[in-house]
Amino acid sequence: MTEESPAPRGDAAWKHERETISKRNAEAHKRAQGARRSRDAIVAATQRDALDREAKQLHELNDRIAKQRARGPR
| Residue 15 maps to a domain | no
| Residue 4 maps to a domain | no
Q: What is the pLDDT of residue 17?
A: 93
pTM: 0.51
pLDDT, mean over the chain? 88
| Residue 5 maps to a domain | no
The span from the CA of 20 to the CA of 50, in Å, is: 45
| Residue 56 maps to a domain | yes
Q: What is the pLDDT of residue 3?
A: 59
| Residue 3 maps to a domain | no
% residues pLDDT > 70 (the chain)? 91
Averaged over 12-28, what is the pLDDT? Answer: 93
| Residue 14 maps to a domain | no
Count: domains in the chain: 1
% residues pLDDT > 90 (the chain)? 61
Q: What is the DSSP letter of 73?
A: -
What is the Rg, in whole angstroms, of the alpha carbon atoms belonging to the chain?
31
| Residue 61 maps to a domain | yes
Say if CB 8 and CB 16 are below 8 A apart: yes
Which range marks the domain in which residue 65 is found? 20-74
| Residues in contact with 8: Cβ distance below 8 Å, sequence separation at least 6, in sequence order | 15, 16
| Residue 52 maps to a domain | yes
